[in-house]
């Protein structure tokens, strides 16, 4: 898919050949690294579409994008960031759409002292990832929504089937603590790789523990396979999915097997169900309307919303950073980090985000909602 901002850059280059009416480059340069190919492309591609709704300027500055594909590979993602910083001289980096590549990017972003807006809930060891700010909700926020729903509906225990990578491990860590507090037991934790084509063994082991529910921790189209497998193996209990599965791919590929399941989600999947008093309702519904006008009815997804939220955030903080430096300078990059940490609350499609020096996630439980699959579509869950 060609990005409209790549077209802008092409047109700008053409205008330079005609004279000296335009500057050598756009005032604000943004590097984008996403998993546009590989096993995680089901996340990267929809994130990329979210940039289509950006206006021509951010915080009063013209924008150009340099978009690179990490191929769902952490090493490639890290090299992309190093190139964006050293060669393209970008002012800010957005990505990746996948957790493990995003973590690798965070290391390079910190070394290059350039802000990274991660489109995945990347988590770092203490003292690491200091230049990384997340656009999605933390796993702790979303895991809390799952545990709350389980407790409300009498689930006493559940089995875990999830990715054997940073995303899966982050979920298991937060679930273990929250489930213990709620008095809910995890009967088993079964893992599999993103590229695996079968999870039959994991499904059999999970079902054998006789759980009240099964939680699947996967993303995009990859979330459907374990779901259909446990249903095909005769599991009759509740099945939960994480926010990385909150897309039409789950319903399209899962079919009847996903009917009645539960998906904890960001707000942009079904903002119509938010109370009118919610500060994100109008922003999210306006985004959904504009997105579906461009890409078709039912195309809405929270991954594209993350890209649009990056615009909403930068539009607020770029003018603040410009008070200390101009785009293209180290002073601006440092000031942008400071502005993000000190600006205060910013309503976005997914909630109200409030970054601080100690919190680079910034979203609370008001940024999640529980959905169910009903008649081939998402609906608000009880």
3-class SS of residue 365: helix
Indicate if 57 and 92 belong to the same structural domain: yes
Indicate if 260 and 307 belong to the same structural domain: no
Apex CA 317: angle with CA 311 and CA 318, to 5°?
A: 80
pLDDT per position as a tens digit, 159-217:
999 999 989 999 999 999 999 999 999 999 999 998 899 999 999 999 999 999 999 99
Note whether residue 282 is domain-resident.
no
Measured between alpha carbons, how far is residue 127 from residues 107, 172, 223, 336, 358 in Å? 11, 22, 32, 19, 11
pLDDT per position as a tens digit, 66-80:
999 999 999 999 999
Query: How many C-beta atoms surround the C-beta of residue 255 within 10 A?
Result: 14
Domain count, the chain: 2
Note whether residue 67 is domain-resident.
yes
Q: Whole domain around residue 246: which residue ranges?
A: 139-265
pLDDT at 19 over 50: no
Q: Is 247 left (phi over 0), alpha (psi -120 to 50) or beta?
A: beta
Note whether residue 181 is domain-resident.
yes
C-alpha–C-alpha distance, residues 115 and 130, integer Å: 9
Q: Between 370 and 26, where is the model more confident?
A: 370
C-alpha–C-alpha distance, residues 99 and 120, integer Å: 5
Indicate if 124 and 157 belong to the same structural domain: no
Residues 6 or more apart whose CB falls under 8 angstroms from that of 176 comprise 186
Indicate if 200 and 247 belong to the same structural domain: yes
Q: What is the pTM of this model?
A: 0.87
Indicate if 158 and 176 belong to the same structural domain: yes
CATH number at residue 237: 3.40.50.2300
C-alpha–C-alpha distance, residues 305 and 153, integer Å: 30
The b-or-e profile of 136-154 (16+ CB within 10 A means b, else e) is: bbbbbbbbbbbbbbbbeee
Note whether residue 375 is domain-resident.
no
């Amino acid at each position: 898919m060609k990005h409209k901002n790549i077209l802008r850059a092409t047109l700008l280059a053409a205008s330079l050949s005609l004279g000296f009416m335009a500057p050598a480059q756009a005032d604000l340069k943004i590097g984008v690294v996403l998993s546009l190919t590989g096993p995680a492309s089901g996340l990267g591609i929809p994130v990329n579409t979210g940039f289509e709704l950006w206006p021509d300027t951010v915080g009063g500055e013209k924008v150009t994008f340099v978009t690179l594909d990490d191929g769902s590979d952490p090493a490639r993602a890290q090299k992309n960031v190093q190139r964006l910083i050293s060669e393209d001289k970008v002012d800010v980096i957005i990505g990746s759409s996948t957790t493990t590549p995003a973590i690798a990017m965070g290391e390079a972003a910190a070394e290059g002292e350039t802000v990274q807006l991660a489109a995945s809930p990347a988590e770092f060891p203490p003292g690491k990832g200091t230049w990384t700010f997340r656009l999605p909700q933390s796993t702790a926020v979303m895991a809390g929504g799952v545990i709350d729903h389980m407790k409300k509906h009498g689930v006493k225990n559940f089995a875990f089937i999830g990715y054997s990578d940073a995303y899966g491990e982050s979920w298991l860590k937060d679930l273990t603590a929250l489930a213990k507090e709620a008095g809910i037991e995890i009967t088993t934790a079964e893992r599999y790789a993103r590229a695996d084509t079968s999870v039959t063994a994991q499904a059999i082991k999970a079902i054998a523990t006789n759980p009240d529910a099964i939680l699947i921790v996967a993303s995009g189209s990859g979330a459907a396979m374990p779901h259909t497998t446990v249903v095909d193996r005769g599991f009759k209990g509740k099945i939960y999915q994480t926010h990385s599965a909150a897309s039409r791919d789950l319903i399209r590929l899962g079919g009847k097997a996903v009917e009645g399941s539960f998906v904890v989600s960001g707000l942009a999947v079904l903002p119509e169900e938010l109370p009118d008093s919610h500060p994100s309702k109008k922003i999210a519904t306006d985004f959904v309307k504009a997105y579906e006008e461009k890409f078709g009815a039912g195309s809405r997804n929270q991954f594209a919303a993350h890209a649009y939220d990056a615009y909403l955030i930068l539009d607020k903080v770029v003018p603040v950073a410009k008070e200390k430096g101009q785009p293209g300078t180290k002073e601006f990059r440092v000031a942008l980090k400071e502005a993000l940490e000190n600006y205060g609350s910013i309503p976005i499609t997914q909630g109200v985000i409030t970054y601080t020096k100690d919190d680079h996630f910034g979203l609370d439980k008001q940024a999640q909602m529980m959905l169910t699959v009903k008649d081939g579509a998402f609906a608000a869950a009880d």
